Structure 1
């Protein structure tokens, strides 16, 4: 099978498209003919930070949609011809305060979805939402699940509250915007890009400001109940400065430095809540699929690349050109 593979060289220079062997499926497994695979910043991290030149060949990719081609003898949930999506989480079935020991994400350390076929156990597949195309479904799981847990499981966002999304443009934050508006929340976004600010307003954001301006001054008349912090050191103290007293910051990922310094006295006098979040469980994935089906929510699909355009796709996300999700169309 053809696959996007990383080997021999570090960073993006180690990427190539090549033939890889298809492994035999066990009695408990399902082979999926991949239609579309979604790209995430995690894929960039895998090939630029973790994967070394002397490591074995790795197929990246955590998201995919496709059609079941073959099922093992013990599989009861699916049959050939079913349209499915891949659950990018491995080993986290039921909702819990934190991922269980051994939790992994598809695409590292084992092979991922940037290939013509993907094989997994049946409990790591879900049926494709009927209102989504294969391209839309292929970019859905990781980002949509991450947004769902951050906003609702961790952030407890409710109708009428205000959520702030600094650095709008990522797949996760565009899902956060759509989810929040679906339940009747107010949404404030920031971006250094005026075009991304305008796109967010077109999607329903109530207010868009520059990431680089004085947030306290710009939001003097606002009350921010929940803030989703994904940038890290560059904006953390600005985020803390605009959340209402007793409000909540939920954080995951970090596009700038991981380590932050803040005034702990200011923090505890303000009675703030700081919560971490990581993707989500299979139980939450099913809740999220029900939510987007009920509200007919679709991913913000920015651009579709072919497998042979892998270099352009990785560079596109590396340079944060995207507003929403990036797809790699396998078929």
Structure 2
């Protein structure tokens, strides 16, 4: 089967042996796979390891066969992959055995994957293959950050620095579904207008004076994945006693924090990452109840995966970038 791998410090599209299922596993013929920023950085972490590792965390496809101990899935079922491995029940932090699919386990940028039945969910029938294959990692990350950790409620005002990422597009829609006010930033006027079309109430330029732009707003919750470039600016516009949830750092991952200002403001700083199977199922129920769809920006065939990586790395996308693996 064709697969996109890391091998000896390089990206390669190569032929790999088809996986063989264990008793508790399901063999899935993949239709699509979503690309995430996590994938872009794996080559540095994997180094010069000579063993080929298939990358990719998100995917959707059709069950081709099931192991002898599998009872919840059957040949022909349409499924999505849950990339949060071995984290079943919602908890304050992931269990020690938690990993994200795509390293150290073989991932989804391949024609087939053998994976534990515990990591599969039925594909919502109203979603296209591109939508289904791109949603799990970003949507689950956003759902946990917004609801489990951020405790968003109806009437709150949410502020999101950066409007174009896959997670941001889910955050906007989740928050609007629950009756919140949503404010985002972007350097791009096109992305600001895109954000408004999917529900954002206000979209301001990233390089504007946030304190001036938001002088009449009361920001209850900030969800920030940009990191050092925006953290203190986000804190400046957050109301006293407000919450800031961090789930990533695409810029600097260290910040200078004025502790006196922080404790006088009674701010709440919370970390979040991915989410449990319990939260994934709640997220899918939420999406189906609102007939909510992922925002898919662009799709590439599997043999153009390096071009897809370059496109995502450019930051020009609004929403998800997807690989079409099979017709």
TM-score (norm 1): 0.97
Task: Give the alignment's Cα RMSD to 1 decimal.
Answer: 0.8
Residue 75 (structure 1) aligned with residue 107 (structure 2): no
In 1, Cα distance between equivalents of 2:249 and 2:297: 21
Residue 311 (structure 1) aligned with residue 306 (structure 2): yes
Q: State the aligned residue count.
A: 326
In 1, Cα distance between equivalents of 2:319 and 2:171: 11
In 2, Cα distance between equivalents of 1:147 and 1:235: 18
In 2, Cα distance between equivalents of 1:118 and 1:160: 43
Contact kept in structure 1, 2:6 and 2:54, CA below 8 Å: yes
- Other-structure match for 2:2: 2
- Other-structure match for 1:183: 178
- Other-structure match for 2:227: 232
Deviation at 1:195, TM superposition (A): 1.1
> Per-residue CA shift, 1:145-165, capped at 9, x if unaligned?
000000000001111110011
Matches within 5 A, 1:45-194: 45-47=41-43, 49-194=44-189
In 1, Cα distance between equivalents of 2:304 and 2:158: 36
- Other-structure match for 1:277: 272
TM-score (norm 2): 0.98
* SS across alignment from 1:227: strand
Deviation at 1:22, TM superposition (A): 1.6
In 2, Cα distance between equivalents of 1:323 and 1:227: 20
* SS across alignment from 2:54: coil
In 2, Cα distance between equivalents of 1:59 and 1:185: 40
- Other-structure match for 1:15: 11
Long gaps (5+) in structure 1: none
> Per-residue CA shift, 1:73-108, capped at 9, x if unaligned?
110000000000000011100000000002100001
> Per-residue CA shift, 1:113-134, capped at 9, x if unaligned?
0000011111110000111011
Match 1:26 to one of 22, 28, 53: 22
Match 2:205 to one of 207, 210, 224: 210
Q: Which runs of 4+ in 1 moved over 4 A?
A: none
Match 2:36 to one of 28, 35, 40: 40
Deviation at 1:45, TM superposition (A): 1.2
Deviation at 1:16, TM superposition (A): 2.1
Deviation at 1:55, TM superposition (A): 4.0
In 2, Cα distance between equivalents of 1:204 and 1:102: 37
* SS across alignment from 1:201: helix
- Other-structure match for 2:217: 222
> Per-residue CA shift, 1:26-52, capped at 9, x if unaligned?
1111000000001000000112x2121
Long gaps (5+) in structure 2: none
